Structure 1
Amino acid sequence: MGSMIKIPTLSGEESFGVYVATPEGDATAAVIVIQEIFGVNAGIRAKCDYWASQGYLAVAPDLFWRINEGTDLDPDVEAEFNTALDLMGKFDQDQGVRDIEATIHAARDHLGGETRAKVGCVGYCLGGRLAFMTSSRTDIDVCVGYYGVGIDGLLGEKHAIAHPVMLHIPTADGFVPPETQAAMHEGLDDHAKVTLHDYEGLDHGFATEFGNRRDDEAATLADGRTAEFFKEHLG
């Protein structure tokens, strides 16, 4: 089990909350878990706990802190789902990436050492989109996105991707239509740093830890691919 702590923004003028889970032994790399629109809820905290059990320092920043600090919503409760959609509409994604960058710095500071510690990220839904943005706007070492939304509109940034990226794409995603998926493949299939995996007939949210959206078989497959990707690129 982890706990919430505060870390500084890039400017150092403010601070915000992050959930941190630490492994039993010394961590040599970190994984940043990027939230869905439901905040740092039980599912995101469970994912952090899992990555800590695999030997990584795991950190989930509260990216909605400027508009609703401590967001913790259940997607299977209609009223909470609607609250999440409202928060999404108010969220500044560019600022969110800067907060992820601050989290990268904090993770490296925590890991210490004489060499630059490796940090990866994995994001879901909104977090999948932010993971893609992080890959092109920061020096993070590896990024993974699950059912990221609107990535077709970010393809103009693909030239800036310098480190490995993996995207998990459910083909029946109600929030990512077929034409968007086609654009992602057309724009990224030949990118040397990007790997795409399709999941036939699966919908958005299939790899959530809890709730109605989860598909155990597909989640296990995707999470296994992510684990191998991190092992290859984070050590």
Structure 2
Amino acid sequence: MIEIQTLARDGAFPAYRADPQGSPHAAIIVIQEIFGVNRGVRNRCDRWAALGYLAIAPDLFWRLEPSVELDPDVPEQFQQALVLLQRFDQEQGVKDIEATIRFARGEASGGKVGAVGYCLGGRLAFMAATRTDVNASVGYYGVGLEGLLGEKHAIAHPLMLHIACDDHFVTSDKQALIHAGLDGHPKVTIDDYPGVDHGFASDEGQRRDAEAANLADSRTEAFFAEHLA
């Protein structure tokens, strides 16, 4: 764990850092779900590091409950995560992501930084694409993207979205709005995954669909290899 200064330099927040062997050719910010920087998030960072990237996962809930780690398969912990989500300031979260991007840019030899997020993190990855200078972003089953389409003009760098077609949080009508708003955008790639629900790319647990997760992850790896080179 490391600490990263806020943009306002009025505090510091914890983040999990995974370093590759040798100098990283780029950095990837891994944006948490509503369950904190738990083992699944740290495992993702470790895998990006094994591929040669510096990987950093900021603790975005640090103002609410620092270092919280929750298991989505435990009902009580799932409910705790929902409470944290209701209290979470997303605007401030994007600023913390931007601070992490700036930190990572100085640590990676190539200077390029990508961001990948899941659920809440998928939404924040979209917001990072419109509000920061991140070089490439990927969002897995981001929630509420249909309400952010007014920002699509600000997408200056490549953005990939993975959509679960049977997502009970992002229903088919919302998916249709996302496609209508973003299909044809020169910087946006959208991939749909029929027959899978929200959380299909979870690192472990009951929500994971291995076939869809492996396909989405392979697309993400190729996307970053292209745009962070």
Counterparts of residues 149-228 of structure 1 (less than 5 Å): 149-228=143-222
Counterparts of residues 9-28 of structure 1 (less than 5 Å): 9-28=6-25
**Corresponding position: 1:31 with 2:25:** no
Shift of 1:71: 1.3
Distance 2:134 2:122 in 1: 15
Give the alignment partner of residue 49 of structure 2, picking from 47, 52, 56. 52
1:139 is aligned to: 133
Deviations 1:51-79 (A, max 9, x none): 00000000000000001111100000000
Deviations 1:192-216 (A, max 9, x none): 0000000001100000111000011
Distance 1:68 1:175 in 2: 25
Distance 1:41 1:99 in 2: 18
Shift of 1:186: 0.1
Q: CA RMSD in A?
A: 0.7
Distance 2:142 2:10 in 1: 31
**Corresponding position: 1:100 with 2:100:** no
Partner secondary structure for residue 168 of structure 1: strand
TM-score by length of 2: 0.99
- What is the percentage of aligned positions where both structures have the same residue? 62
Shift of 1:25: 1.5
Structure 2, unaligned runs of 5 or more: none
Distance 2:90 2:207 in 1: 25
Partner secondary structure for residue 154 of structure 1: helix
Give the alignment partner of residue 63 of structure 2, picking from 66, 75, 81. 66
Shift of 1:158: 0.2
Distance 1:126 1:13 in 2: 25
Shift of 1:110: 1.8
Partner secondary structure for residue 79 of structure 1: helix
Counterpart amino acid of residue 104 in structure 1: I
Structure 1: 4+ residue segments shifted above 3 A: none
Distance 1:64 1:157 in 2: 25
Q: How many residues align?
A: 229
Structure 1, unaligned runs of 5 or more: none
TM-score by length of 1: 0.96
